[in-house]
Chains A and B, each alone.
Chain A
Amino acid sequence: MVTHDSGGHHHPPTSFIRKYIFSTDHKVIGLQYYFLALFSVFLGMALSMLMRIHLVWPSAKMPFTPGGQMTPEQYLALMTMHGSIMVFMVLTTAPQSGFGNYALPIQIGAEDMAFPVLNMLSFWTTLLSLIVLVSAFFVNGGAPISGWTAYPPLSALGQIAGPGQGAGQTLWVVGVAIFCIGSLLGALNFITTTVDLRAKGMTLGRMPLTVWAWLVTAILGLLAFGVLLAACLLLLLDRIAGTSFFIPGGLVVTDTPIVSHTGGSPLLWQHLFWFFGHPEVYIAILPGMGVASHVLSTFSRKPVFGYKAMVGALGAIGFLGFCVWGHHMFISGMSPYSAFAFSLLTMTIGVPSAIKTFNWLGTLWGGRIQFTTAMMFGLGFVSLFVTGGLSGLFLAQPSIDLYLHDTYFVVAHFHLIMGVAAIFGIFAATYFWFPKMFGRMLNETIGKVHFWFTFVGVYSIFMPMHFLGLAGHPRRYADTTGVNFLGPLHSVHYFITLAAMITISAQLIFLFNFFYSMKAGQKASENPWNATTLEWSIPSPPPFDNFAGRIPVVYRGPYEFSVPGATDDYIPQHLTPERVGKAH
């Protein structure tokens, strides 16, 4: 037994506050992020449920509306906060900051992140931003009504543009800006950790695809959040300091001329926002791709098909992700010539995406598939990724976008691909790593029930929305009675609302399984899935510094399953060549 003393060997903190609250341990911080996302996702779902109920039963009495039924501005406030909370607090935090924080250092054989204190600050910054964002509900005028995209001048003119556009919108801008800071700190930490702290033998070509995905995501985050931070600061200045970055002159709002602003450009915000916003889609989905590859390989008992192609595709998607923001702006009034380039580049993103899909199928093919709940969600991810990705090929073409832009077709597309597919990645990761995190297994039977309700449920919610979009239903409508041609679509809305009620209720099954299994689940062994990567070489849950001072040495790639000649159908990365084939 050789002890590798890395010099910086540190002892676990003993006080409760240092251990669980202001912790610098990447595992605790990962869990803190996870619970932040868990709280946020239930909040976000509750908001969407209220919206769905209002769309079908507009006169339904809601508990928080003293006058009785929901007003249009309340609907739009729910919509804005649903989108903002889901995108920032769930899809950005759980897959990257949550699981990435927890698993990345262990998977590369590190004792912690490169900057543990910075890591702690990232989390607390993110929590602060959540508090600021949610507080918008409680100020005069309520939460903002300009959507998570906050297009100016609607978001820049203040209270005169609508209820919620006063203090609520200011809190939103400040909250998102704070979130950017937390994400930038996190991205810096992830990149440094992956580059510098890999154990001996953990070459780039031996990194699990999850680590590759987190690395590429961190690079995207570092480049994208800085731009959003700048945009938010400019918007804040327009709102409170009288500048005119985004507000042109000569505006008249409800017969009142706006004389205090002149010379700004609303399109500037859209460019800045989507320069962040499109990479953000990949920030949400890339970690899910990494998890899907990892889980599919593990439970097919087969190496990932085309490892290098998978890494190349991650990089290609990441790079192209920065070249296509204009496809959100085909009808925005930007130069129609640039639409040509943005469109072709967007179609090109379909290529690495298709490579990933083919390679997932290639990974399954000829395997020995074990239908654990984690695997079921991994398989669901592939199905959802295909469905949600293909509708993108319609929206990537400016000519078709002339009809489909800002309709429910778009809502269906991005919910399937960046919402639900990413959530399936989160679920796959949860069912996969729960035993490592808490030392107990999640209940597989309850897990299967949860999977079926969720998989059938999300398709029932979002597939019909394609048809609403094809019928021309604009999105972000608080009511479907204001426009004649929406009348015949009511039955579709009705079906979607019912499906949403069932699917959202079914998430309580997951919540129960999560907390029940944490307390009373079956004890998890060190390596319950017979997996190969380093986190499965240490106790469940891992000790404070992960490897108890014995940093592993890595001898092989991450997906050595069913290697011909080996006794077992998996060969862990840390196993010395001499021990391969012996009992372990």
Chain B
Amino acid sequence: MMSSLWLFGAESAWRVDTRRPSTRADHLIRVVAANRPEWRKMRRKSGEQGSAAVAFTLATFLVIFTVVTVYLFLAKIWWFPPAISDFGAQIDAQFHRTLIITGIVFVLAQLGLALAIFRSRDRGQKASFFEGNAVIEFIWTLATVIMFVGLGLYGEHAWAEAHFQGAARGALQLEVTGQQFAWNFRYAGPDGKFGGTKPELVSASSGNPLGLDPRDPASKDDVVSPVAYVPVGQEVELLIKTQDVTHSFYVRELRLKQDAVPGMTIHMHFNATVPGEYELACAELCGLGHYRMRSFVSVVSRDEFDKWMGDQEAALQQQ
């Protein structure tokens, strides 16, 4: 039992000091001291002066700091924008569960520290002597394990939905390509196939930022756009790529972030239910223009989407 307790960090026993060698001299001193309860002799001047004022100030600061922090998290003056998908709502729920648990621990720990500082300040008293408490240590260790690991397990649902399952059948495929310092979106067009690309054909200045290969028939109807349009309530599958260095696709309202990694195509999916124009900001350092590498994802009605797509395809025909 003792050895298993030690695993959890338990001390041997309350006030019983098994580590100290018990010599005859030690014993003698204890007997003498027990008959001379003038513990005040142990007082020393150093550190006592002003300790009440310092203790009070430090404890008060910790209390104020705790109150202000809790207020700012409740007031939500600076906060995330409303989520625009069911998935986003799940993330928010897990965030709030975490906020409540960490909030309680935060308040208890900071106030506990303030209380210990004020209560145990040097008033000339004798410090109590104890080197641990097996029961208390076991309980708080177990409580922490359940709380933290339980929280972690709970949050895996949302992650699993984002990553362990693919996009729903019939999802709109949308390729996202990052490059220093712009985003380009590509739709497969009526044939439903993305055409081939070649690095040597890439030329942003001549209107072929993705390097579409004109000799591949599948690429002829591919729609390339610097901003994205998606229909509301439609499952969208993202194919995230980059041409040069690592970038990161990040739309706050979707609660989605995914690095675009050179040499990889990474799949994500979402279903936005609230129309609007949402800003996409690069979230992985990609060079000097990182701060201005942004675009927009517009969630629009099916009609608007069809109209926009029709315009794009018409423009393609005229080329």
Residues on A facing B (Cβ under 8 Å): 71-73, 76, 145-147, 151, 153-154, 157, 161-163, 205, 247-255, 257, 264-267, 299-310, 312-313, 331-333, 336-337, 339-340, 343-344, 346-348, 350-352, 354-355, 357-359, 361-362, 364-372, 376, 379, 382-383, 386-387, 390-391, 393-394, 396-403, 405-407, 448, 455-456, 459, 463, 467-468, 470-472, 474, 476-480, 482-485, 488-489, 492, 528, 530, 555-557, 559-569, 577-578, 580-581
CB of B276 within 8 A of chain A? Answer: no
- Give B126-158 as 1s and 0s: 1 = Cβ < 8 Å from A's Cβ atoms: 111111110011001100110011011101111
CB-contact partner of B61 in A252, A399, A456, A483, under 8 A = A456
CB of B213 within 8 A of chain A? Answer: no
Contact present for A257 and B199 (CB under 8 Å): yes
Minimum CB–CB distance from A484 to chain B (whole Å) comes to: 6
Minimum CB–CB distance from A303 to chain B (whole Å) comes to: 5
Known: A577-B21, A577-B25. A154 touches B246 (CB 8 A): yes
The count of A-to-B residue pairs whose CB atoms sit within 8 angstroms is: 401
Measured CB to CB, the nearest residue on chain A to B69 is A463
Contact present for A470 and B78 (CB under 8 Å): yes
CB-contact partner of B258 in A73, A305, A333, A359, under 8 A = A333
CB of B314 within 8 A of chain A? Answer: no
In Å, the complex CA distance between A479 and B284 comes to 15
Measured CB to CB, the nearest residue on chain B to A303 is B131
Q: Which of B44-52, B168-176, B219-227, B297-305 contacts A (4 or more CB under 8 A)?
A: B44-52
Known: A406-B248, A567-B41. A305 touches B199 (CB 8 A): no
Measured CB to CB, the nearest residue on chain B to A163 is B288
Contact present for A399 and B155 (CB under 8 Å): yes
Minimum CB–CB distance from A252 to chain B (whole Å) comes to: 4
Contact present for A393 and B91 (CB under 8 Å): no
In Å, the complex CA distance between A347 and B145 comes to 9
Residues of A within 8 A of B199 (CB): 250-252, 257
A sample of 11 more A-B contacts (CB under 8 A), given A393-B151, A402-B255, is A147-B285, A343-B155, A351-B145, A359-B137, A369-B55, A370-B46, A390-B102, A399-B158, A399-B162, A463-B72, A467-B77
Minimum CB–CB distance from A261 to chain B (whole Å) comes to: 10
In Å, the complex CA distance between A370 and B55 comes to 9
Q: List 9 A-B contacts (CB under 8 A).
A: A73-B288, A157-B245, A161-B287, A205-B19, A253-B180, A308-B10, A359-B132, A376-B54, A485-B252
Residues of B within 8 A of A72 (CB): 288-291
Residues of A within 8 A of B95 (CB): 394, 400, 403
Known: A379-B117, A471-B79. A154 touches B285 (CB 8 A): yes
Contact present for B127 and A309 (CB under 8 Å): no
Contact present for A252 and B248 (CB under 8 Å): no
CB-contact partner of B131 in A307, A313, A390, under 8 A = A307
In Å, the complex CA distance between A38 and B103 comes to 35
CB-contact partner of B248 in A163, A331, A362, A560, under 8 A = A331
Known: A307-B11, A402-B91, A456-B61. A249 touches B105 (CB 8 A): no
In Å, the complex CA distance between A401 and B152 comes to 12
